[in-house]
């Protein structure tokens, strides 16, 4: 939240820009909230959602990293993007590892 929203909005407001000037809008926060809700409430599809979303996120981020690192641009906003992606990649790698190593944590209420 801080890297993706709070920092860009604060920076824009302090520099007199529109508050939306440095935010990259996408629908990933909706998917992440859905996964977070599923991890807390454990509906029947939680394990598959965790695996599917983790694999998709990891593939996308590694692809973006390979494209970025081929011609890196270490400006403030690209570095901010990179740091955000490192955290997201770490989170989803941990979720995927947990599904594999401790599948009993993903038991649903109906199982």
pTM (2 decimals)? 0.86
Which of these, 39, 92, 94, lies nearest to 61 by C-alpha position?
A: 92
**Per-run averaged pLDDT (10 residues), the chain, 111 residues:** 89 94 88 95 94 97 97 94 95 97 80 49
In whole angstroms, give the CA distance from residue 76 to residue 33: 27
Chain segment 27-45, per-residue pLDDT in tens: 889 999 999 999 999 999 9
In whole angstroms, give the CA distance from residue 111 to residue 93: 25
């Amino acid at each position: 939240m801080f890297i993706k929203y709070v920092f860009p909005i604060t920076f824009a407001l302090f520099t007199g820009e529109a508050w939306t000037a440095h935010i990259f809008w996408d629908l990933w926060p909706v998917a992440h909230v859905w996964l977070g809700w599923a991890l807390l409430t454990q509906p029947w599809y939680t394990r598959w959602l965790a695996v599917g979303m983790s694999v998709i996120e990891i593939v996308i981020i590694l692809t973006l990293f390979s494209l970025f690192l081929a011609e890196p641009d270490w400006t403030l906003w690209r570095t901010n993007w990179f740091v955000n992606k490192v955290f997201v990649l770490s989170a989803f790698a941990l979720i995927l590892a947990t599904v594999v190593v401790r599948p009993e944590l993903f038991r649903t209420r109906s199982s």
